[in-house]
Amino acid sequence: MNFFHSFEKWLKKIERAFCYSAAALVFIMIFPTTLDVFLRYIFNAPLPEMFQLTEFMMIGVVYLSIAYVQQLKDHIRIDIATQWLPKKSQEILDLFAYCLSLFIVLMITWQTGRMAWEAFVTQDYTMGVVQFPLWPAKSILTIGMGLLSIRFFVDIVIILFKLTRHSSEISNFKC
């Protein structure tokens, strides 16, 4: 179990680093967007393809921070029906939700990874005045979802540990 705790500590540091990267992207997006607005409304000369570049950066903002949000358990959660259930029942429902989420996120990771590789090999670019390669954005999406997959796996192991601890406490109590 000591290995697992050190692995989770390492994972938390990586998730936080990716979240800081996402925050840096937000900060970086401020300058060209402000410049674009200024040039558009004052000189009627917007920067070409600035909207598209901002869209690519938004992919990084969302998907580089998604595992960190899961680590904090800050995703939207509707617990109006489960808040009155016993703690063990809530953990079982969380386990089910994390297992289902892990399966879905693994499928998304696999497919986006395949699409990122295909875009890299075929040198797929956007159409427009400025052509941006598509593989970096698709790769960032794959990395973010892959990190989220690892987070869901860790959360599943944590819940399984809690559930087995509860059952051992109950069996000890009966003796």
Res 170: pLDDT: 47
* Residue (of 153, 152, 143, 154) closest to 65 by Cα position: 143
What average pLDDT is seen over the chain? 91
> pLDDT for 79-94, tens place per residue?
888 889 999 999 999 9
> In percent, how much of the chain has pLDDT > 90?
71
Residue 127: band (very low, low, confident or very high) from pLDDT cuts 50, 70, 90:
confident
Both tokens of 45, joined, read 């000369």
- Confidence class of residue 49 from pLDDT cuts 50, 70 and 90? confident
Where along the chain do its domains lie? 2-174
Rounded Cα–Cα distance for residues 24 and 32 (Å): 14
What whole-number distance in Å separates Cα of residue 149 and Cα of residue 116? 17
Quick one: what percent of the chain has pLDDT higher than 70?
Answer: 94
Residue among 69, 87, 89 nearest 152 (CA): 69
Give the separation between CA 158 and CA 152, rounded to whole angstroms: 10
At 69 the pLDDT is 96
- What's the pLDDT at 174? 45
Distance CA 145, CA 64 (A): 8
What was the pLDDT predicted at 77? 80
Tally of CB atoms within 10 A around 30: 9
- Which amino acid is it at 75? H
Q: What is the pLDDT of residues 140-157, one digit of tens each?
A: 999 999 999 999 999 999
Asked whether the beta carbons of 58 and 22 are under 8 A apart, the reply is no
- DSSP 3-state of 133: strand
What is the predicted pLDDT for the residue at 167? Answer: 62
Show the CA angle centred on residue 101, arms to residues 16 and 80, nearest 5°: 95
Query: What dihedral angle (degrees, nearest 10) is formed by the CA atoms of 144, 145, 150, 152?
Result: 120
pTM of the entire predicted model: 0.88
